[in-house]
Amino acid sequence: MNKVVMVPDHFYNCPICGKQCEVEEVTGWNSVYRVQGPCQVFSCIMPLASDPLHCYNHIVFRAEPNQIAFQEFEVDLGNKSVLFANDYRIQHSIIKNSRDAVPLELSFIIVPDFPSLSSLKKKIRTSLTFS
């Protein structure tokens, strides 16, 4: 199996809306799974946007500054929002359909279709249906 590695053209812009991401230097990040180590977190929160309403972040470790290690964002599927994450270190996608639910961990990567989210939403719905 080929390993998927995401390297954005420009880390500083949100791939969903194009807005400049906020950058935070941290030693760990509490996401779907705890990310540990010195890293930069690039984030964009657009709670008032009509579409695409989203919260997005990706994490780049200081030791590997040219690769995204972890990426997560919230996607509105119409009837509910889901938290979607890709852990590029272990090549798994994670889907969590409510804040209290146990995440569904897939043993493969679902590559996001940015900036258009319609096909990504279809992939997420299909994964939830057949999992």
Kindly report the pTM of this predicted structure: 0.79
Confidence at residue 50, expressed as pLDDT on a 0 to 100 scale: 58
Confidence at residue 22, expressed as pLDDT on a 0 to 100 scale: 92
- Residues in the chain, pLDDT under 70: 1-10, 32, 47-53, 99-100, 130-131
Confidence at residue 2, expressed as pLDDT on a 0 to 100 scale: 56
Confidence at residue 28, expressed as pLDDT on a 0 to 100 scale: 77
Q: Which tens digit of pLDDT belongs to each residue from 23-54?
A: 999 887 777 677 788 989 999 887 655 555 67
Strands (E), the chain: 22-30, 34-46, 54-61, 70-76, 81-87, 92-96, 104-106
Q: What is d(CA 87, CA 112) in angstroms, rounded to the nearest whole number?
A: 12
Confidence at residue 121, expressed as pLDDT on a 0 to 100 scale: 78
Confidence at residue 42, expressed as pLDDT on a 0 to 100 scale: 92
Residue corresponding to tokens 């299909």: 126
